[in-house]
Copies of this chain bind each other. A is one copy, B any other.
């Protein structure tokens, strides 16, 4: 992690949280991932549906099922992270690279856009909203643009 000097203490706390969250993804540690979310968080993710609300136990099961679709390690890297925090509300955005091999042999190596929104709950920053996506091609194919690079 590189903490820029202009970060406030709250922004640094969130930076540490994001790095820990990415490390938990790389380690396939669903419990560590879920520990960073509020009890109920509104999720906009890459797969349908449009939105769902995750509670921690259902979230953990979903993440473990998703981990089981990967054969071996998941690579996860974050760049262009920008964090904006007040005392108790914050947001971040970044470009995240995810790569590895799925159990069906599919090779994945894609960049996605990540927006995380936070509240401080009992003195701890927690994710209350997550939005991750790729754009899609406006050429009539409607194909998800999973081949873009920053």
CB neighbours of A115 from chain B (8 A): 44, 115, 117, 129, 131
User: Which of the listed residues A87, A89, A128 has the most CB atoms from chain B within 10 Å of its own CB?
Assistant: A89
Looking at A16-24, A27-35, A56-64, A133-141, the stretch in contact with chain B turns out to be: A133-141
CB distance from A90 to the nearest CB of B (A): 6
The A interface, classified by DSSP as helix, strand, loop or mixed, is strand
Give the number of times this chain occurs in the complex, counting copies. 2
- Once the chains bind, are B42 and A135 in contact (CB under 8 Å)? no
- Once the chains bind, are A136 and B86 in contact (CB under 8 Å)? no
Question: What are 29 A-B residue pairs whose CB atoms fall within 8 Å in the complex?
Answer: A42-B82, A44-B133, A44-B135, A46-B138, A47-B136, A47-B137, A48-B135, A48-B137, A50-B113, A50-B145, A50-B150, A51-B95, A51-B113, A84-B117, A86-B88, A86-B89, A87-B87, A91-B129, A93-B117, A113-B133, A115-B115, A115-B117, A115-B131, A117-B117, A131-B131, A133-B135, A136-B136, A142-B144, A143-B144
